[in-house]
Amino acid sequence: MARLQQELQYVGPERRRAASYLELIAELIEAFARSDDLQQSLSLALHRIAAEMNAEAAGLFELEGDFDDAEATLVCRACVGPVDVLGLEIPAHAGIAGRALKRNKTELLADTARDLDYIAPSAIGIDYDIRSMICAPLSYRGERYGVVQLFNPQRPEARFASCDAEVLSVLASAAGFAISNTRLTRDLLEQTRMKQELELAAAVQRNLLPQLAEDAAIQGLNLPARGVSGDFYDVMPLPDGRTMFALADVSGKGMNAALIMVKAATLFRSFGKRVHEPGVLLARIEAELCETLAFGMFVTMVVGVYDPRQHSVCLANAGHLPSLWRDAEGGYHEFPASDPPLGVLRRAARNRYCENRFSIAGGSLYLYTDGATEARMAGGVMYGVEGLQHLIDANAAAAPAHRLHAIAETLRSGLRDDLTLLVIEDRAAAQPCRQRHRRWSAARLVAQTIPAQAGQLKIVRRLVDAAGRAAGASAEWSGELALAVDEACQNIIRHGYQNCPDGRIELSIRQRRDALEVELIDYAPKIGAEACKGRPLEQLRPGGLGMHFIRGLTDDVQFRSAPAGAGNRLVLVKKLNSPTHNGNEPTDSQQNERKRR
Amino acid sequence: MSVSVDEQAAAVTIYLSGEIDLESSPEARKALLNAVSRKKPLVVDLGEVTYIDSSGIASLVEAYQKAKNAKLDFVLTHVGDGVMRVLSLARLDQVFPIRR
């Protein structure tokens, strides 16, 4: 015993310091492990460290932001010493602290004056002189949380030594481990809470979808790819017996898209009670949506009204995928969007979107989101519109509700995105053609305003073609009328509006007893009928064929007086019984032309 | 509409497909005139064309005239009924060399 005491007397001050440091390390590690309040434990630990290591001042700085970000900062969360720097914010990439973080290594400056990276507190207006310091990173497995720093040993002439740096390094590691554990626990709790909230949000969204009777003519289906959906559909009966419907897809996925979807759905419900014109309703929804839509987000949406007595729909499509009409004979017709998505142009003053009215007599109209066409088949190939058509055909005999479920069931395993489907089935399907003709006599088959742009001509042709088919005409007959109307629209775009994309064309198609009458109204400067004669065909040159096609493919071309405010009104008439042009049997108008020559 | 070009030692073949209208005919015209500038006999395959309007016909006429001036052979192949109807409507069925 005496010998031991003797030996202890000879243990130098360095060894005694190291022994007490070991106790401190053990004590703090245990304190961190037991702690419920890490912030408080760290603050207490800093005071114990400063006292035990005889430091005049100490500071604990937390890293704010990602260290890879050049703008990241260090914020003082605890301090000891003559100057209170709690809350002080310093750049995370400068000075000794920046170096310690970057190297993820403890920095010892026995004499601060000898280190070129050292920045004196006076540089940021703090009146404190640092002679000697240690800075240790708080990190765990490469993740950086901040730094702990000790300043100036108590005795004025003393400097920190490498054993001090080693001790602080070990303490900082223990603190880093404690911080890491706390954050992991917090993240786990947060994840659980988010998951619960996501489930609640998904339930709220499901409740927004309409409850439809199983035998209703309009059926919808929504299958979210994750818990919540960026798609929605809605169906709303109107007092006059018609039904309004909508289908939309918000750009992006996840919670932000889901929130915008809820807003769009709510706007449709509330405005839809008073506004029954799809084009006007879309404009109203856009005006409201734009106020809150984050830049870069947009919504594609189709709004329509189905009239079961007229067997027709009126659609407005803002940037959404083409609507698909499957006619009574099983042929498909697409009606693409005529306007950009909501939130892209942000034209608040716009008062209506283009509307497109057409017959779906005897067929079904399908609206869908890209989840349907972008679903993958077993080999990884996308279904596409054709794949969707095959699925519709395969389930055509089933009732609408069952048909949608069967389609969704097939697509389910290959889904990459939310899937939403809506079908409007016209129930006057099985009527014989002749009766349908009578029903349609003098009826307006199409009434649509179209932007005067080359890219819209495809839509014009689809509309004319569908009207021809609805009137019972052959594909060839309808195709000829479509070409004639396309050519007339080209003339308006090129010569009337001089290719200025702001112009518009009002297209309407009516069925007379024995003919279809296509009316085109534009707002370009008036042109005389003389300018529309076309050129003699004997001259072989590239342009000028358009007017010749129009006259050759129709039975009558009339330049009628335009309504007030409009520029020109052109009416093309094609008799339903006029023979189609096959190169050998000229139509009447061509015979007349030959006689003139 | 889409365009593909197959250039062989003996001739250049241009395959046009889809709908050639006011929107897409500038692309068809560019491809046709490019092909003429190769100074080789030109074959224009219209087998996959589902629609052609006067602006598409105009592009064919222009390419045909340029080829003729350069004394190059120019022939339309796989002309379907729909395209044929439009050509005959413009009385071009008698002008263009057509290999059906």
What is the distance in angstroms between the Cα of B81 and the nearest Cα belonging to chain A?
A: 8
Distance separating alpha carbons of residues A428 and A431, to the nearest angstrom: 6
- Decide the pairing of beta strands B74-77 and B42-52: parallel
Interface predicted TM-score of the whole assembly (ipTM), two decimals: 0.90
pLDDT above 90 (res A380):
no
Which residues of chain A neighbour B79 with C-beta distances below 8 Å?
A: none
Distance separating alpha carbons of residues A174 and A180, to the nearest angstrom: 10
pLDDT above 50 (res A589):
no
Q: Kindly report the backbone phi and psi dihedral angles of residue A388, in degrees, each rounded to the nearest multiple of 5, phi listed first.
A: -65, -40
Task: Determine how many CB atoms are found less than 10 A away from the CB of residue B78.
Answer: 16
B71 touches chain A (CB under 8 A): no
Q: What is the mean pLDDT of chain A?
A: 85
- The CA–CA distances, whole Å, from A91 to A57, A87, A316 equal 20, 13, 54
**Cβ atoms of residues B73 and B63 within 8 Å:** no
pLDDT of residue A258: 86
Q: Which two tokens stand for residue A375?
A: 């679903």
Read off the pLDDT of residues A33-92 as tens digits, 9 standing for 90 and up: 777 777 888 888 899 899 988 999 999 999 998 889 989 999 999 999 999 999 999 999
The arithmetic mean of pLDDT across residues A370-378, rounded, is 88
Q: Which two tokens stand for residue A467?
A: 């009207």
Residues 424-463 of A with CB under 8 A from B: 454-455, 457-458, 461
pLDDT above 70 (res A434):
no
A349, with CB counted inside 10 A (0-12, 13-18, 19+), is exposed
**Cβ atoms of residues B73 and B38 within 8 Å:** no
Domain ranges for chain B: 2-99
Please tell me which residue, A447 or A187, carries the higher pLDDT value: A187
Q: Which two tokens stand for residue A576?
A: 């339903």
Does the structural domain A11-186 have CATH classification 2.60.40.10? Answer: no
DSSP A422-476: EEEE-S-TT--HHHHHHHHTT-EEEEEEEES-GGGHHHHHHHHHHHHHHTT--HH
What 3-state DSSP class applies to A520? Answer: strand
The arithmetic mean of pLDDT across residues A129-135, rounded, is 95
Read off the pLDDT of residues A516-550 as tens digits, 9 standing for 90 and up: 999 999 988 888 666 666 666 666 777 778 888 99
What is the distance in angstroms between the Cα of A531 and the nearest Cα belonging to chain B?
A: 17
* Run of H or E residues at A391: helix A384-394
B86 touches chain A (CB under 8 A): yes
What is the distance in angstroms between the Cα of A342 and the nearest Cα belonging to chain B?
A: 24
Alpha helices in A126-161 (DSSP H): none
- A216-431 CATH fold: Phosphatase 2c; domain 1 (3.60.40)
Domain ranges for chain A: 11-186, 216-431, 432-597
Read off the pLDDT of residues B37-76 as tens digits, 9 standing for 90 and up: 999 999 999 999 999 999 999 999 999 999 999 999 999 9
Confidence band, pLDDT 50/70/90 cuts, at residue A117 = very high
Cβ–Cβ below 8 Å for A454 and B23:
yes
Q: What is the CATH number of domain A432-597?
A: 3.30.565.10
pLDDT above 50 (res A597):
no
- The CA–CA distances, whole Å, from A222 to A227, A246, A256, A320, A421 equal 12, 13, 18, 16, 7
Does the structural domain B2-99 have CATH classification 3.30.750.24? Answer: yes
Q: Kindly report the backbone phi and psi dihedral angles of residue A306, in degrees, each rounded to the nearest multiple of 5, phi listed first.
A: -105, 130
Cβ–Cβ below 8 Å for A487 and B61:
no
Confidence band, pLDDT 50/70/90 cuts, at residue A593 = very low
pLDDT of residue A582: 57
Read off the pLDDT of residues A268-290 as tens digits, 9 standing for 90 and up: 999 999 999 999 999 999 988 88
Q: Which amino acid is at A472?
A: G
Beta bridge partners of A462: none
Q: How many Cα neighbours within 13 Å face the side chain of A251?
A: 13
The arithmetic mean of pLDDT across residues A141-146, rounded, is 91
What is the distance in angstroms between the Cα of A181 and the nearest Cα belonging to chain B?
A: 59
B100 touches chain A (CB under 8 A): no
